[in-house]
Amino acid sequence: MTANTREEHANPLLSHLLAEQQTGTTTLDRLVREAAQGHIEFVREHLAMFPERVNQKSSGKTALQVASHQGHTEIVDLLIKCAADVDAQDDDGDTALHYAAFGNQPVIMECLLKAGAHINAVNKAKCTALHVAVNKQHVNCVRVLLKFRTQLNINIQDSYGDTALHDAIAKENLEIIDLLINVPEVDFSLKNKRGFNVLHHAALKGNNFAVERLLSRTRQIVDIKKDDGFAALHLAALNGHFLVVETLLIQGQCEPDVRNNRQQTPLLLAVSQGHCSIAELLVGSGSQVNTEDEDGDTALHVALLKRSSVRTTELDPAEAPIISGIMTQLAASDNPETDPSNALACFLAKEGSDLCKSNLAGRTPLDLAGSSAVVELLQQWSTQKEQQPPAIAAESPGLPAELPQGMECQICMEALATVLFEPCGHTVTCEDCCVRMKKCISCQEIILNKLDPGGRTLSSRVRQASLERLRYLESKIQEIEESQGCSICMERRRNVAFLCGHGACSVCSQTLRTCHMCRKAITKKIYLY
């Protein structure tokens, strides 16, 4: 049973054992049932009389397995002392360690591992306890397993070829991803049975956090291809994951025109799916618009063939300012044949696509236009590739052609205005305030592009991603502060430790005679500096 399918059956797993009354049960079955219910006195007395029954199974499960799942620490300790087999498997191949992982019992897991449980034991689906803990998103269980890193093989692959890191990326648990990526022994090159390494998997799923963390650890895998020639950039572009594409290009410094086995570039794939924002990003990052696939088609051929896939209502102007501006102009046109779905084709024509380039079938983009109106439209935009639209600000009475340098943002009146609007050329807002703007507040011209002081196109999604990372780091800092703070007053730093391992601040610890956490007698207080 795989970790994924096991999740659906986690509760029914022990339901018959947790029932208070059950008819027809044997004495052997009762030991397992009482262990599941946490009745330690019965378990102790029964094993005192019948020690040989410690590994007896009921419905394929041992008392240790069910007690581990339910978190009955005292019963687990008792069973281990009575020589219970910590590696006994049920009908699905799960051991007590698997059961503890399913039940989110990190304390039990540590107890089992200290008792010699095999940390890398796999069930019939080849899942380890780490696979289970990751799939169930039990962070503390993962932490316990990583404490035994010298014994742990983090690179074991399940029946699908997935490692625990593959599973963590699919589950999008940022904390677990961070934990696993930082393990020195992790092998980032392992591929599952579909041919995906962990970076491919993250790009496919659109998990930008994982992509960023992977690139920070192992940037050299950024252009590695699957057997079909797909690199991470192909997968992200095909599936419309804008942030991942941006991260691969900027942080990963990947090859923008990498080709798959069908000679397709990421730009060709993005265009085929109508992902305008990604197409604009790729072109802005140096992707060649006239690159041909195995059929001789360029991006413009594909855009005209697949124009129905262009999502005119879903386009974010902050991600694709140029195409968004073109789309607005087409929508305002009196000609019914200049449909906004042609915006991507017009953009490619503007960026230098060859209108007369024939594919292997002998057809040019103009042959695929479908009407004389679209042919004329493409020709018009093609002539603009070396032209910059004139600024309207200079023609507007009462408006200066250029605004003073170093002026403050006209929206918040706090930060400096640093964002250059195109085509009007005005700089009137800061990066924070410009995000949702569609028109220049100075001249009312439609904004086709927004540039930072370095000339780079701004994206609102980058700011959102940075905010997500900030919140994640804030939560981590809070966890660290809580772990270092006194758990009694919740105010001062914990600077006194007891021999039991717990501690408190110097003020709260003065009157303590027993530990407030474990109730053990305090025999010595150690001051920490």
Do both 9 and 137 map to the same domain?
Answer: yes
Which of the residue ranges 40-49, 292-301, 396-405 would you say has the lowest mean pLDDT?
396-405
Identify the pLDDT of residue 398. 37
Q: Give the pLDDT confidence score for residue 459 in this predicted structure.
A: 59
pLDDT at 406: 57
Q: Are residues 18 and 148 in the same domain?
A: yes
Domain boundary among the residues 135, 152, 169 is at 152
Alpha carbon distance 492, 268 (integer Å): 59
**Residue where the block lists tokens 């709260």:** 508
Mean pLDDT in residue range 97-111: 96
What is the arithmetic mean of pLDDT over 108-124? 97
Six-digit token string for 408: 């403050």
Q: Are residues 127 and 25 in the same domain?
A: yes
pLDDT reading at 499 higher than 80: yes
Q: Looking at the structure, tell me whether residues 450 and 512 fall in a common domain.
A: no
pLDDT given at position 21: 44
Among residues 100, 119, 152, which one ends one of the domains? 152
Q: State the pLDDT at residue 517.
A: 76
**For position 6, what pLDDT does the model report?**
39
Task: Based on the fold, state whether residues 404 and 503 are members of the same structural domain.
Answer: no
Residue 521 has pLDDT above 80, yes or no: yes
pLDDT tier for residue 466 given thresholds of 50, 70 and 90? low
Cα–Cα nearest to 176, from 154, 150, 148, 200: 154
Domain that holds residue 452: 388-484
Kindly state whether residues 516 and 414 are assigned to the same domain.
no
Top mean-pLDDT range of 115-129, 315-329, 482-496, 497-511: 115-129
Structure letter (DSSP) for residue 455: S
Share of the chain above pLDDT 70, in %: 85
| Domain match, 480 and 494 both | no
- Condensed to tens digits (0 to 9), the pLDDT of residues 62-78 reads 999 999 999 999 999 99
Higher per-residue pLDDT: 436 or 141: 141
Is residue 302 included in any domain, yes or no?
Answer: no
Q: Is the separation of the CB atoms in 52 and 86 below 8 Å?
A: no
Question: Residue 472: its pLDDT value, please?
Answer: 65
Query: How far apart, in whole angstroms, are the C-alpha atoms of residue 5 and residue 124?
Result: 13
Q: Residue 253: is its pLDDT beyond 60?
A: yes
Per-chain mean pLDDT for the chain: 85
Angle between helix 198-205 and 164-171 (nearest 10)? 10
313 CB contacts (<8 Å, ≥6 apart)?
none
Could you tell me if residue 116 is inside a domain?
yes
> Which helix (H) or strand (E) segment is 449 a member of?
strand 449-451
Is there a domain that residue 240 lies in?
no
Closest among 246, 390, 397, 400 to 319, alpha carbons compared: 246
Residue 140 covered by a domain:
yes
Report helix, strand and coil shares of the chain as percent, to nearest 5: 45, 5, 50
* CATH label of the domain that carries residue 430: 3.30.40.10
Question: What is the C-alpha separation between 133 and 117, in angstroms, rounded?
Answer: 16
Which residues on adjacent β-strands are paired with residue 526? 497
Show contacts of 24-32: CB within 8 Å, 24+ apart.
28/53, 28/56, 28/58, 29/58, 29/59, 31/56, 31/58, 31/63, 32/56, 32/57, 32/58, 32/59, 32/61, 32/62, 32/63, 32/66
Q: Residue 296: inside a domain, yes or no?
A: no
Rounded Cα–Cα distance for residues 374 and 300 (Å): 13
Q: Where are the alpha helices (DSSP H) in 50-138?
A: 63-70, 73-81, 96-102, 106-114, 129-135
DSSP annotation of 527? E
How many domains, the chain?
A: 3
In the numeric block, the tokens 């780091």 are attached to 473
Residue 219: pLDDT over 60: yes
Domain for residue 514, yes or no? yes
pLDDT value at residue 393 = 36
What is the pLDDT, as a whole number, of residue 191? Answer: 97
Peptide bond into 397 cis (omega under 30): no
| For range 166-192, the mean pLDDT | 95
Q: How far apart are CA 280 and CA 327, in angstroms?
A: 13
Residues 432 and 472 in one domain: yes
Amino acid identity of residue 346, one-letter, is C
Residue where a domain terminates, one of 94, 122, 152: 152
- In this structure, of 84-93, 341-350, 389-398, the range with the lowest mean pLDDT score is 389-398
Q: Which of 308, 238, 244 is nearest to 275 (CA)?
A: 238
- Read off the pLDDT band of 325 (50, 70, 90): confident
Spell out the alpha helix ranges (H) of 410-516: 460-484, 506-509
Q: At residue 501, does pLDDT exceed 50?
A: yes
Across 494-508, average pLDDT: 87
pLDDT at 3 over 90: no
Closest CA to 111 of 83, 136, 140, 74: 74
Lowest mean pLDDT among 344-348, 396-400, 476-480, 488-492: 396-400
Residue 218 belongs to a domain: no
Q: What is the band of 296 on the pLDDT scale with cuts at 50, 70, 90?
A: very high
Cα torsion 46, 47, 50, 54 to 10°: value is 120
| pLDDT of res. 391 | 38
- At residue 445 the predicted structure's pLDDT band, cuts being 50, 70 and 90, is confident
CA dist 306 and 303 (Å) reads 5
Q: Is there a single domain that holds both residue 430 and residue 511?
A: no
41: left (phi over 0), alpha (psi -120 to 50) or beta: alpha
Tell me: do 411 and 510 sit in the same domain: no
User: Predicted confidence band at 492 (pLDDT cuts at 50, 70, 90)?
Assistant: confident
pLDDT of residue 392: 34
Q: H helices within 128-263, ranges in order?
A: 129-135, 139-147, 164-171, 174-181, 198-205, 208-218, 232-238, 242-250
Packing angle of the helix pair 343-350, 276-284 (nearest 10 deg): 10
User: At what angle are helices 139-147 and 106-114 packed, to 10 degrees?
Assistant: 20
pLDDT at residue 506 in the model: 87
384-441: pLDDT as tens digits: 765 544 333 334 333 333 444 557 888 777 778 888 888 888 998 888 777 767 778 8
Residue 43 is part of a domain; what is its CATH number? 1.25.40.20
Taking residues 322-334, report their average pLDDT.
84
Q: Which two tokens stand for residue 432?
A: 């924070």
Degrees, nearest 5: CA angle 237-137-208: 20
pLDDT, residue 462, reads 47
Query: Do 457 and 499 fall into the same domain?
Result: no
Give the span between the Cα atoms of 196 and 200, in whole angstroms. Answer: 5
Question: Considering only 1-15, 60-74, 257-271, 478-492, which range has the smallest mean pLDDT?
Answer: 1-15
User: How large is the average pLDDT for residues 468-487?
Assistant: 69
pLDDT of residue 336: 66
pLDDT at 16 over 70: no
Q: Is the same domain home to 88 and 13?
A: yes
- Residue 332 within any structural domain of the chain: no
231-245, 320-334, 339-353 — most confident range? 231-245
User: What's the CA gap between 3 and 129, in Å, rounded?
Assistant: 9
Average pLDDT over residues 314-338: 80
Quick one: pLDDT at residue 348? 95
Q: What are the start-end ranges of the H helices in 128-206?
A: 129-135, 139-147, 164-171, 174-181, 198-205
Given a contact cutoff of 8 angstroms between Cβ atoms, the answer to whether 172 and 138 are in contact is no
Which of 9-18, 119-128, 325-334 reaches the highest mean pLDDT? 119-128
